[in-house]
Amino acid sequence: MEAIVIDAGSKLLKAGFSVPHDPPSLVIPTQMKRVPKDESSTNASLLKDATIDPVVRGFIQDWDAMEDLLRHVLYDRLGWTIGNEGNILFADPLATSKALREQVVQLLFEKFNTSGFYASDQAVLSLYAVGRISGCAIDIGHGKMDIASVIEGAVHHISSKRFELGGLDLTNLFAQELSKSNPLVNFSVCDVEKLKEIYACCAKDEAAYEKFQQACREEQHTLPDGQVIKIGKERYTVGEALFQPSILGLELHGIVEQLVHCVSTISFENQRRQLLENTILCGGSASIKGFENRFQKEANLSSSAIRPHLVKPPEYMPDNLEKYSAWTGGAILAKVVFPQSQHVTKADYHESGPSIVHRKCF
Ligand SMILES: Nc1ncnc2c1ncn2[C@@H]1O[C@H](COP(=O)(O)OP(=O)(O)OP(=O)(O)O)[C@@H](O)[C@H]1O
Ligand SMILES: [Mg+2]
């Protein structure tokens, strides 16, 4: 049986057997609904609407919910059977603590009878997906943005940085802006998120953005409940926030400057060049219309001696690779680590405990 690869994001869990040239067979919301055990209980109606996010800003926070979610994914959706469990490869976000890594391995061996385990960094895996072992991965997901330098298949932590800025913040910003121009409409987060994915875009440069703020063609959109709203300059505000985080009230430099700054901590010029000239954009929020062009344009204007350059995914890779590149890289790596027995086995775990994960997965 092929290993199962899991990238559990703040919004979407990507999972599937390791077939690197296919998209993950399962992409489902990570968010769960609390269902009351006993319908007659007095709090049943209250509980019915309660949602739980097992993963918050990239990190697992609710372990019971995560266990339920994984049980559903592994047994109900991907077809594991009790007593016949296989191997799992987990994609870790940047800055995952040692303790968190241990908790994941513990969960999988103690609650799931997993036969083998491996964990690797999302940034490393995303670079594997485009055939690189060194480069920079900028992953803009739902709960966080990771800018990671990867040298020879390992994250270089000093020149990498995690930001608590992601699609979630862009959705909130869009909701705020849409409410200003449609004051009589009550927006649901779910509707705004969908609108963001359809309409949000990046202006080609800052000057174009300023122009859209003065005058911008408005479009009408009918919400599922029949209300008609207008969408104009707000769509550009969302994309611009990645280049001017002050729009979100954050005291941060724009994304290109952050990248250049991260890499500037590396002493060797040839290494800095190798990293910046092999930059990839990934994560769902990187698929905002016009984002890649704007990024490359800002990179070309950068005052840095070495300018960032984007690497395109190989043609044989499926469309929308950026949305699940960490998963795809995981599928590639799983084809190596499990057959070559580099993973943590059940016997390793029972002999050494959860800390074995630091010795075997790097
Ligand atoms: N076309 C689009 N335009 C703008 N945003 C988009 C688009 N497509 C997806 N998104 C956003 O991408 C985010 C989901 O991306 P992704 O699956 O990479 O996040 P995640 O892995 O669940 O989260 P994280 O890695 O931050 O924990 C959501 O906020 C979603 O609204
Ligand atoms: Mg993610």
Residues 12 and 76 in one domain: yes
User: Do 148 and 270 fall into the same domain?
Assistant: yes
How many angstroms is it from 101 CA to the middle of ligand 1?
Answer: 23
Q: Which of 194, 196, 324 to mutate to test the pocket of ligand 1 (most atoms within 8 A of CB)?
A: 196
pTM value is 0.96
Atom of ligand 1 lying closest to residue 196 CA: 4
269 and 141 within one domain = yes
> Closest ligand 1 atom, CA of 238?
4
Residue 284 lies in a domain: yes
Domain annotation covers residue 314: no
Please give the tally of structural domains in the chain: 3
- Based on the domain organization, do 90 and 222 belong to the same domain? no
Q: Please tell me the distance between residue 115's alpha carbon and the centre of ligand 2 in angstroms.
A: 25
Q: Does 57 share its domain with 123?
A: yes
Decide which of 246, 276, 311 is a domain's last residue.
246
Q: Among 246, 275, 292, where does a domain finish?
A: 246
Contact call for residues 52 and 31 (beta carbons, < 8 A): yes
CA of 336 to the centre of ligand 1 (A): 29
pLDDT reported for residue 354: 97
Q: Are residues 31 and 172 in the same domain?
A: no
Q: Kindly state whether residue 111 falls inside one of the protein's structural domains.
A: yes
Residue 144 lies in a domain: yes
Residue 167 Cα, ligand 1 centroid: separation in angstroms?
5
Say which CATH number the domain at 326 has.
3.30.420.40
Is residue 313 situated within a structural domain? no
**Structural domain boundaries, residue 146:** 135-166+251-300
Atom number of ligand 1 nearest to Cα 93: 25
Domain limit, last residue, from 246, 266, 289: 246
Ligand 1 pocket test, pick from 170, 285, 291 with the greatest ligand atom count within 8 Å of Cβ, gives 285
Q: Is residue 311 part of a domain?
A: no
Whether 21 and 97 map to the same domain: the answer is yes
Residues 103 and 224 in one domain: no
The reply to whether ligand 1 has any atom less than 6 angstroms from the CB of 284 is yes
Residue 48: what pLDDT?
Answer: 57
Classify residue 278: in a domain, yes or no.
Answer: yes
Residue 310 lies in a domain: no
Q: Is residue 63 domain-shared with residue 192, that is, in the same domain? A: no
What CATH number is associated with residue 198? Answer: 3.90.640.10
pLDDT at 36: 74
Per-residue pLDDT of the chain (362 residues; tens, 9 = 90+): 899 999 999 999 999 999 989 999 999 999 999 887 766 555 656 655 689 999 999 999 999 999 999 999 999 999 999 999 999 999 999 999 999 999 999 999 999 999 999 999 999 999 999 999 999 999 999 999 999 999 999 999 999 999 999 999 999 999 999 999 999 999 999 999 999 999 999 999 999 999 999 999 999 999 999 999 999 999 999 999 999 999 999 999 999 999 999 999 999 999 999 999 999 999 999 999 999 999 999 999 999 999 999 999 988 888 899 999 999 999 999 999 999 999 999 999 999 999 999 999 98
Asked whether 307 and 162 are in contact (CB, 8 A), the reply is no
32 and 93 housed in the same domain: yes
* Dist. CA 362–CA 121, nearest whole Å: 8
Q: Which atom of ligand 1 is nearest to the CA of 144?
A: 26
172 and 162 together in one domain: no
Q: Do 143 and 268 share a domain, yes or no?
A: yes
What's the CA-to-centroid distance between 221 and ligand 2, angstroms? 29
User: Residue 197 C-alpha to ligand 1 middle, in angstroms?
Assistant: 9
